[in-house]
């Protein structure tokens, strides 16, 4: 595991550690929540099947474990001496916000059992101050929503790590068979000339060269492709920066056999030419017509 990045996520209870580790899992990290600090060295020595495909490892460690504060410094120091390289992400939030979050979820703060919620939070802040000072990244989640927090965590790691790219699914479909509920972006290409009404083209589907030429060579299709590929080139990096890990674009025509298939293929090929992680599915290409 020494060749892979190791991220330790810690911080105040209620500050968003579960959201942070989910963000890293989405970009290819092998993640473990509530890792006992004394088990971390043993875990890092384990062989993980398929670790060459991983972006790295992330573990959440915090005051849910009673010995965490007293043991973490010695354990982490020993790992550094053994050649392991890791970074610490420390999450925090204002006291009032933490109180609100615990009140909303009705969960028990690990230090509030015999002293009250606010006192438990304040005690945790004090105990974790040395770890906060040693952290590589400190993220204040007070004013962050779930998506903003995920984006910040991924951005912190992405500054010097190679992460799994956002997966893109290009899906062709027919409106007569219903809208795909998983679509993030819906593209209606029923304005294009329909090869269904050309007798020699009707039996073919949108992957046939004759259909692709008929659809894509029309002036309307040429103008559409020029404008829409420019838009996608602008949008895709923004979706990825926001922390989105999967983007589904659905291209629809009436029956999902001709125009939508040809356009989905062309958009897929345009995106795939500059990045990986692009899939193509023709949902309704084999439906009876």
The one-digit pLDDT tens for each residue of the chain (289 residues) are: 567 788 999 999 999 999 999 999 988 899 999 999 999 999 988 877 656 678 889 999 999 898 899 999 999 999 988 888 889 999 999 999 999 999 888 888 988 877 789 999 999 999 999 999 999 999 999 999 998 999 889 888 876 555 667 889 999 999 999 999 999 999 999 999 999 999 999 999 999 999 999 999 999 999 999 999 999 999 999 888 776 778 999 999 999 999 999 999 999 999 999 988 899 999 999 998 7
Of the residues 133, 158, 183, the one at which a domain ends: 158
How many domains is the chain partitioned into structurally? 2
124 and 171 inside one domain = no
User: Which residue's structure tokens are 């659905």?
Assistant: 250
Instruction: Return the pLDDT at 27.
Output: 85
101 and 55 inside one domain = yes
127 lies in which domain range?
A: 6-158
Question: 272, 283, 198: which is closest to 229 by C-alpha?
Answer: 272
Instruction: Return the pLDDT at 85.
Output: 85
In a domain, 22, yes or no: yes
CA atoms within 13 A on the CB side of 197: 4
User: Which residue's structure tokens are 């912190």?
Assistant: 156
149 and 171 inside one domain = no
DSSP assignment string, 211-223: HHHHHHTSHHHHH
146 and 175 inside one domain = no
189 and 240 inside one domain = yes
φ, ψ at 276 (rounded to 5°): -95, -175
Instruction: Return the pLDDT at 49.
Output: 67
> DSSP class of residue 109?
P
**CATH code of residue 150:** 3.40.50.300
Determine if residue 56 is left, alpha or beta; phi over 0 gives left, psi from -120 to 50 gives alpha, anything else beta.
left
User: Which residue's structure tokens are 């040809």?
Assistant: 262
Instruction: Return the pLDDT at 235.
Output: 95
Instruction: Return the pLDDT at 2.
Output: 60
Q: Kindly give, in sequence order, each residue whose CB lies less than 8 Å from that of residue 87, ignoring residues fewer than 6 positions away.
A: 5, 6, 7, 8, 136, 137
Gap between the Cα atoms of 17 and 223, Å rounded: 47
φ, ψ at 9 (rounded to 5°): -100, 125
CA dihedral 231, 236, 242, 244 (to 10 degrees): 130
Contact assessment for residue 256 and residue 172, using Cβ atoms and an 8 Å cutoff: yes
Instruction: Return the pLDDT at 162.
Output: 59
10 and 153 inside one domain = yes
């Amino acid at each position: 595991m020494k060749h892979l990045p190791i991220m330790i996520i810690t911080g105040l209870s209620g500050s968003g550690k579960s959201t942070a580790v989910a963000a890293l899992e989405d970009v290819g990290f092998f993640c473990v929540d509530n890792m006992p600090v004394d088990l971390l060295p043993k875990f890092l020595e384990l062989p993980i099947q398929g670790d060459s495909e991983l972006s790295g490892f992330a573990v959440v460690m915090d005051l849910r474990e009673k010995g965490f504060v007293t043991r973490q410094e010695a354990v982490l120091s020993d790992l550094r001496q053994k050649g392991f390289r890791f970074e610490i992400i420390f999450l925090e939030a204002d006291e009032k916000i933490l109180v609100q979050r615990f009140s909303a979820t009705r969960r028990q703060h690990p230090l509030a059992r015999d002293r009250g919620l606010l006192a438990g939070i304040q005690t945790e802040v004090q105990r974790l101050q040395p770890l906060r000072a040693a952290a590589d990244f400190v993220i204040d989640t007070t004013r962050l929503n779930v998506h903003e927090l995920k984006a910040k965590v991924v951005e912190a790691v992405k500054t010097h790590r190679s992460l799994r790219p956002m997966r893109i699914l290009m899906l062709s479909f027919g409106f007569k068979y219903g809208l795909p509920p998983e679509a993030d972006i819906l593209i209606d290409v029923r304005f294009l000339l329909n090869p269904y009404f050309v007798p020699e083209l009707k039996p073919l589907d949108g992957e046939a060269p004759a259909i692709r030429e008929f659809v894509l060579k029309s002036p309307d299709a040429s103008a559409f492709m020029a404008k829409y590929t420019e838009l996608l080139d602008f949008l895709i990096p923004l979706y990825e920066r926001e922390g989105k890990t999967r983007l589904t674009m659905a291209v629809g025509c009436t029956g999902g056999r001709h125009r939508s298939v040809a356009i989905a293929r062309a958009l897929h090929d345009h995106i795939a030419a500059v990045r990986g992680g692009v899939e193509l599915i023709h949902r309704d290409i084999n439906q009876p017509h």
